[in-house]
Amino acid sequence: MITSAIVGGTGYTGKYILEFCNKHPNISEFEIFANKSAQKTIHEIFPGLVGEVENKTIKSILDLDLSFDVYFFALPRGESLKTIPHICNANKKVIDLGADFRLDSKEAFLNTYQLEHPAPLYLKEKNYGLAELNNTYNYNLIANPGCYPTVALLSIIPFVKNYFNNILSISTVAYSGLSGAGKKTSKDLLFSENYNNVKAYNIGTHRHEVEIAQEINKFSCDINYSLTTHLLPVFSGIYSTTIIDIAENIPQNSVLDYYKNQYKNAAFVRLRKNPPELKWVIGTNYCDLNIMSVNKKIIITAAIDNLIKGASGQAIQNMNKLFGWKESLGLKDFKEELQNV
């Protein structure tokens, strides 16, 4: 049995982490750390968890110590990097849900986030935790992928690994629920701005584009990649359509058999005969994918819950892998439990 600290446990992704930790068979104790919510109780922040989770007091991040076996960080960009290096230096296991350690170099981090990285060693000494496609867990620090990168890379990487010589360009058009931006308030995220509405944002400048391109280019250099993101007037969920332009047609059966083989042991990727629907995956850790080969294009539609598969659920998968446990431990029965709440 282990203990966990959930830093940022009062946010959207932190709430799921705390629910997963609460039910995980190998976690005996957990504590929540936050900023403005410190000294409040879990039930004050999340009244829906009364009867589900013990009513602990939320601690200040200033009181975070080195007594835990694993640390989940779910803080806004630029906050985790102030604390994680100290925890890593003490040889503790850390899973960061944010972007502070996802890019591989300090130059890429500075260009993308306009921030000097204070601990560039850990940009290199970390594992990028795309759980289904990464089996190397040789560092204590896991950078959990972003939500768009999770759905895009699960769509793209198998194809790039096998057919890289045939690729002309790759583009993803994706739609995210409003919780993707966290709990912070801004006019663009208001219900009244988004209800009955859809809009694109950050065209050509979305930071997740850099992260996705970084991971694609580990398998094939200089593939032309673009990500176009939209806000969708739902609470959670990401729906993405990736189009891979190819030079030579590939038969539908070949590409499908290849994906089936790639994901044959994946507990949380479901290959679908038809394009998935968002509602199939909400409240779950699944990524549903449909792959079609049409007129020199591979068209992959995919859906995830951004707060679970795109964040907290994948973080639990990563913890399970880091400790050598079954990848799906504490995750498989989650949807039924949610429905009972």
* Contact footprint for ligand NAP (CB under 6 A): 8-14, 34-37, 61, 74-77, 79, 97-99, 146-147, 179-180, 182-184, 306-307, 310-311
Query: Minimum Å distance from CB 134 to ligand NAP?
Result: 17
- State which H helix or E strand residue 171 sits in: strand 167-176
Q: Are 30 and 18 in contact (CB under 8 A)?
A: yes
Angle of helix 106-113 relative to helix 207-216, nearest 10 degrees? 150
Measured from the CB atom, the residue of 184 and 264 that comes closer to ligand NAP is: 184
Here the tokens at position 305 are 């819950």
Specify the residue, 20 or 163, whose C-beta has the smaller distance to ligand NAP.
Answer: 20
- As a whole number of angstroms, the distance between CA 173 and CA 230 comes to 8
Q: Which of 21, 147, 221, 287 is catalytic?
A: 147
Residue nearest to ligand NAP (CB): 11
| Contact present, 307 and 236 (Cβ < 8 Å) | yes
Least distance CB 181 / ligand NAP (angstroms): 7
Question: CB 76 → ligand NAP: shortest distance, Å?
Answer: 5
Residue type, 69: D
**Which residue, 92 or 298, has its beta carbon nearer to ligand NAP?**
92
Nearer to ligand NAP, 53 or 167 (CB): 53
Q: How far is the CB of 210 from ligand NAP (least distance, A)?
A: 14
Q: Which is nearer to ligand NAP, 9 or 244 (CB)?
A: 9
Sheet bearing 269-271, strands edge to edge: 199-201, 225-231, 167-176, 238-246, 297-304, 287-294, 269-271
Tokens of 287: 């990524």
Q: Which of 173, 118, 111, 181 is nearest to 146 (CA)?
A: 181
Residue 147 known to be catalytic: yes
> Closest separation between CB of residue 142 and ligand NAP, Å?
13
Maximum alpha-carbon separation in the chain = 61
Active site residues: 147
